Amino acid sequence: MVLRWRCSPLLLLSLLLQSFVSADHSFENTAVVRTVEVAGSLVQVTTTFAVKALEGDASEYTIALGEREHERTSWLEAKIKGQAAILPLFEGGYDPEIGVHFYTVALPHAMKINETANLVVETVETHATYPWPEQASQKDPQSLKYETDLFVVSPYKTLVERIKFRTPTPNIHSYTNPPGLDDFTVEIPVTKSGATITYGPFNNIPITSAKEFLDAKQEHVAVHYAYDSPLVEVMKLKRSAEISHWGANLNIEDTFHLRNAGPALKGHFSRLEHQSTMFYGRPPPHVLPSLTVQLPAGIHSPYYYDLIGNVSTSHLRTSPSQGKNGRSQPSLLELRPRYPLMGGWNYTFTLGWDSPLADYSSYEKATGKYIVGIPLMTMIPGAVVDEAEINIILPEAATDVDYYPPFVPTESGITTHVTYLDTVGRPAIVLRYGRLTHKHAGVIYVTYKVPVTAHLKKPLAVATAFMGLFALGFLAKRLDISIQKK
């Protein structure tokens, strides 16, 4: 299983081991192109390193992340251009005085001198943008700001470097044009064309992960752009998946704490204005009247309620399931919160559904184990999940429980969960994650055994209970408790 890199816990780890990666000279970047796709709460950064080996069998390429990037980044993966295989990635340590984190990529094969390769590094940054201005009235538009360091931090020399910022709309209010760029280029350092801002090309950039460069030359740029879809954050997601063999059913229930992270509503909410903007068909971009969620295919009996009962305003378009491996398009759930979510407003709700267990599980004759694949989370498009807790409840008295999450959780463990006339209780797997993005939407595989006796536990228990009741009734009827006998 590929080790994928996650931020918060390993940050500590890396801080502990001060394994120092000095700038070595085994590589140079003939060309570096970074494309930053600024958007809502998720920003996708793709950096392509055209790498040239300067020494023989160089098999470990080092990439570096600046302090701020590192904090934001919740996903990092490296590939060779045009190849699907994701390259292994290791902690390279942290240099506190320059504040740079290093990661080493294990190249598929050791490179000979002057051999070149194109390395593609993809990162996803969360909470990288913030609304600006911070407040907006009901009719105002919504604009976001994104700030970052300009030059790609790398422990190697770079011949040509180009940085692009792509915004969702061509409507860009402003972008910084730093003065100090001229030492690396001769023509205009910054050009804007449509929805793209291009910095560079810059030539002959020295090693950027060096103190002198970071202090003197590293530039700080900001992009201020219009963004016209609401900025959704899921502050908390609690998923519990319950596997039932009697019902051949997999029940999944998500509890969301939704927040509109857009500009806070200025003044007060006026229903009149809301209704008129809705009526004229131009709802302000930072209002979230409803959201569409993709649910798995073949689900049935969904429910959508919050703390005070059922919410009647939701529509589900289910699509039939194609079994485990058939590619079927997902069911669409269009749900409306009780009230339109203005900037800064919260809304908590619970969403659940049943689905046939057969679509998710399979039985392995050889080992006698069941294998169930549980989707890790329900994706709300463009949203980041700040913290997630996933409970997987297995059938009663399941044994040899193993689970394989798509990537390492912050916490995990197995507890027992007692419900529905259980006698011994059911094993429940608990996983915790932080800062999940659409990239993390994986599948958790769980394997376990269920002995036949376990299946029969419940009916036996119930039967005995009823027998006891009847016996009591029988006695009570026959017993004569009157004081004087007639």
Interface residue list for another protein (CB under 8 A): 267-272, 275-276, 306-313, 338-339, 345-348, 418-422, 465
Q: Report in angstroms how near the CB of residue 306 gets to another protein at its nearest.
A: 7
C-alpha dist (Å) from residue 140 to 88, 132, 272, 286? 46, 12, 16, 9
- Counting DSSP H helices and E strands in the chain, the numbers are 5, 31
**Which of 127/336 has CB closer to another protein?**
336
Choice between 301 and 313, CB closer to another protein: 313
Pairing label, strands 443-449, 399-404: antiparallel
Distances (CA, A) of 38 to 45, 128, 268: 8, 9, 30
Q: How far is the CB of 341 from another protein (least distance, A)?
A: 10
| Residue that is written with structure tokens 């996650």 in the block | 6
CB of 456 to another protein, least distance (A): 17
User: Looking at the DSSP assignment, which residues form a beta bridge with residue 35?
Assistant: 46, 164
Q: Give 191 or 313: the residue with its C-beta nearer to another protein.
A: 313
Q: What are 254's strand-pairing partners?
A: 239, 351
Shortest separation between residue 483's beta carbon and another protein, angstroms: 9
The string of DSSP codes covering 265-301 is EPS---HHHHHHHHHTT---TT-BS-EEEEE-TT-EE
CB 283 to another protein: min, Å: 15
Strand partners, 113: none
Give me the least distance between CB of 181 and another protein, in Å please: 41
Q: Which of 85, 308 has the CB closer to another protein?
A: 308
With beta carbons less than 8 A apart as the criterion, state whether 325 and 443 touch.
no
Q: Which is nearer to another protein, 96 or 267 (CB)?
A: 267
Residue 192 or 257: the one with the smaller Cβ distance to another protein is 257
**Structural contact between residues 348 and 304, judged by C-beta atoms closer than 8 angstroms:** no
Q: Minimum CB separation from another protein for residue 254, in Å?
A: 18
What's the rounded Cα separation, in Å, for the pair 254 and 240?
A: 7
Kindly tell me which of 210 and 258 has the beta carbon lying closer to another protein.
258
